[in-house]
Structure 1
Amino acid sequence: MTAQIALLRGINVGGHARFPMDRQREVMHGLGYREVTVHLQTGNLVFADPGTPPEETARRIEDGIAAELNVPVPVTVRTRDELAATVAANPYPRAAAEPKTLHVVFLSGVPADTSGLDAIDPDRYAPDRFRLTGREIYLWCPDGIGRSKLAAKITGLRLGDVTATARNWNTVTRLLALADRVPPG
């Protein structure tokens, strides 16, 4: 068994796609996953998996949630080791001291079309910064994400058929800590 992390996009936000934590856990158990932990109400699931490829796990969870809620909920999955690599690759280590200012936008795949990101003039949005690294976009907004024009620009971009969901650094590191608690084998 390995730990996997499922990131659900758009549930329990502003009354949309209500999916209580207890029900999230029940659906995951119904799909055969064990050691399920639901972190926060907005769709952060840590669970034991027998080694299924994350893309297959994501499709399986999406299908299970669609059957439960009767609405599509995009799901992005990372293994524990992939999440640890994301934490280790943080290009803005200073930001970790103020974790509310650092976000990771998790992508369901490597975007085939990065022209929207490439066209962003970073100086125009200073002091905010971003960096695409594989399937993650690191977004650092020292003055907060709520007023960040860069954050609004990035979340509004279309990256082809890639699904995106963001988590702040506190959540990212907490998910890694929870994944580290999943018993092996």
Structure 2
Amino acid sequence: MDQQGKPPAARKAARKDGEGNGQKVVPKDGQHEGRQLARKDRDGGGQRQIALLRGVNVGRAKRIAMADLRQVLGELGFTGARTLLNSGNAVFDCDGLDAAQSSTSMSATRIEEALVLKLGVGSRVTVLDAQQLDDVVADNPLGAIAVDPARLMVSVFSNPADRAKLEPLAHQPWEPEAFALGRWAAYIWCADGVLASRAAAAMGKLLGDGVTTRNWATISKLHALARADA
């Protein structure tokens, strides 16, 4: 028995299940079905959407003025475009577009192409609908240990099927960090800062530009913006 009253076998099982590391893992018998539903949901469109541009306005590369981004979105037929901060976060509506033009996957493709053609900037774009952003906020399992929202990273999947590639990371010990998975994003508590995060580095090796990352403070502000007047 250990100091917590658990025999060695129980401690081993607890580590395997993610106990003590703030991890949230979908049961295996529901993973395949969940990924199928995820792909369907992301292609289902929605009136209000949120675009996350990857790697813009970092240093001197990929510079985009947010006014230019709003103009591009308007020219694509999106309405009410609003941006947050300078890191490529936009909220807009798809009221005047048909379903073929306004699925989240099609919106991402159209925005990526327009950024290259109109602004000369190549950037991976991930688009969520408002309900999916609600899910990203609701799924966060690390709020109790993440004492600094600037060090809690939320990495949104460009392709939800890529979630399966990260499942092994959710079973590894990362203390004092923590790693967890939600439906649309991975959550990383970077206890010693983002640059020192082993979990963030491991995820980057597996997915590369397949995720777009924001800290919890930005996600919270973006969520409030997306729900304003909704």
User: Which TM-score tier does this pair reach, normalised by the shorter chain?
Assistant: 0.7 to 0.9
| 1:145 matches 2:194 | yes
Residue 66 of structure 1: aligned partner = 116
TM-score, L = length of structure 1: 0.86
Residue 158 of structure 2: aligned partner = 108
Residue 32 of structure 1: aligned partner = 77
Residue 223 of structure 2: aligned partner = 176
Moved more, 59-68 or 48-57: 48-57
CA separation in 2, counterparts of 1:24 and 1:53? 19
Moved more, 3-12 or 88-97: 88-97
Higher relative CO (CA 8 A, sep ≥ 6), structure 1 or 2? Answer: 1
Give 1:116 shift: 6.0
Picking from 151, 175, 184, the partner of 1:135 is: 184
> Which residues in structure 2 correspond to 1:1-150 (within 5 Å)?
2-50=47-95, 52-95=102-145, 97-112=147-162, 114-115=164-165, 118=168, 122-123=172-173, 125-150=174-199
CA separation in 2, counterparts of 1:97 and 1:177? 20
Give 1:150 shift: 1.9
SS at match of 1:7: strand
Structure with more strand by fraction:
1
Q: How many positions carry a matched residue from both structures?
A: 180
CA separation in 2, counterparts of 1:40 and 1:112? 28
TM-score, L = length of structure 2: 0.70
Structure 1 vs Structure 2 CA RMSD? 2.3
Moved over 6 A (4+): none
Residue 204 of structure 2: aligned partner = 155
Q: Which amino acid aligns with 2:124?
A: P
Give 1:84 shift: 0.6
Contact 2:165 2:206 in 1 (8 A): no
**Sequence identity percentage:** 34
Structure with more helix by fraction:
2
Contact 1:95 1:101 in 2 (8 A): no
Sort the Cα spacing of 1:83 and 1:145 in 2 relative to 1 into closer, same or farther, 3 A: same
SS at match of 1:86: helix
String of CA shifts for 1:100-138, please: whole Å, max 9, x gaps. 121110111123584565167632x31111122233111
Q: Gapped runs of 5+ residues in structure 1?
A: none
The structure number with the bigger radius of gyration is: 2
